[in-house]
Amino acid sequence: MNAISNLLGHILRIIFEFVNNYGLSIVVFTLFVRLLLVPLMIKQIKSQKAMQDIQPKIKEIQEKYKNKPEKQKEELMKIYQEAKINPLAGCLPLLIQMPILIGLFRVLQDPVAHGVFTSAAEFAKADTGFLWIQSVSSTKHISLALLSGISAYFMQKMMTTGDEQTENMMKSMTYVMAIMSLFWGYTFQAGLAIYWITSNLFSIAQYQLITSPLKAKLADSKEALVKDEKSGKSNINAASEKNNRNKK
């Protein structure tokens, strides 16, 4: 974890040398990280859509082999392989973000030790505040806590699919994430709260610009494929009936 913290610290230092503002450097750093994760997020969306499409088959297998767990697992793996789905793919962006979040927490606790600044004097000179926050290394900001909680609430709200099976769980998760973010925004350093708020706002914008249109496109593609299959079957049936009539 120390290696990750040092790497993040050096990246933050490079950004700081360009923008010359510590708080703004954290915002730019957050956007940089989230842009790197966009391909993974797109992969996650496609995986989620594919999982939704095979849900009827999964339910059928679960019901058919409910008393045979080994057989059920085997059949489910076949379904995943046929559909080219990795059930763990949806967790990948979150798994990648967690070390970054922990590493950044350590960097902001001691930016000098992790290479952001060469000395405490340089850090003190750079930590002149950001927007209305007087010090990026300070804690217990009510405004940041509220922004953190509200942004987390709306981000999580957007992720609610409306699926009957997952709706209640997602609703609970929405409130849990909002409360945790509210707590983090108040107890953690302002710099980490700025990272978290920026990340949440990016996620909201990403949903509007990428996630929602991509889901709609995937749904349209699926509907078109189903229509083509139905049309193909109809044409085959029509041709078969025509051949039968000709034989008669």
Instruction: Tell me what pLDDT residue 180 has.
Output: 82
Instruction: Tell me what pLDDT residue 86 has.
Output: 66
Contact 187, 142 (CB under 8 A): no
Instruction: Tell me what pLDDT residue 225 has.
Output: 44
Instruction: Tell me what pLDDT residue 214 has.
Output: 66
Q: Cβ neighbours of residue 98 under 8 Å, at least 6 residues apart?
A: none
For residues 224 and 234, give the distance between their C-alpha atoms in angstroms, rounded to a whole number: 15
Mean pLDDT, all residues of the chain: 75
Instruction: Tell me what pLDDT residue 108 has.
Output: 81
Q: What's the predicted TM-score (pTM) here? A: 0.69
The residue type found at 210 is I
Instruction: Tell me what pLDDT residue 177 has.
Output: 75
For residues 83 and 222, give the distance between their C-alpha atoms in angstroms, rounded to a whole number: 13
For residues 30 and 194, give the distance between their C-alpha atoms in angstroms, rounded to a whole number: 9
Q: Cβ neighbours of residue 132 under 8 Å, at least 6 residues apart?
A: 143
For residues 158 and 244, give the distance between their C-alpha atoms in angstroms, rounded to a whole number: 54
- Give me the residues of the chain with pLDDT under 70, please: 1, 45, 48, 86-94, 96-97, 159-171, 211-212, 214-248
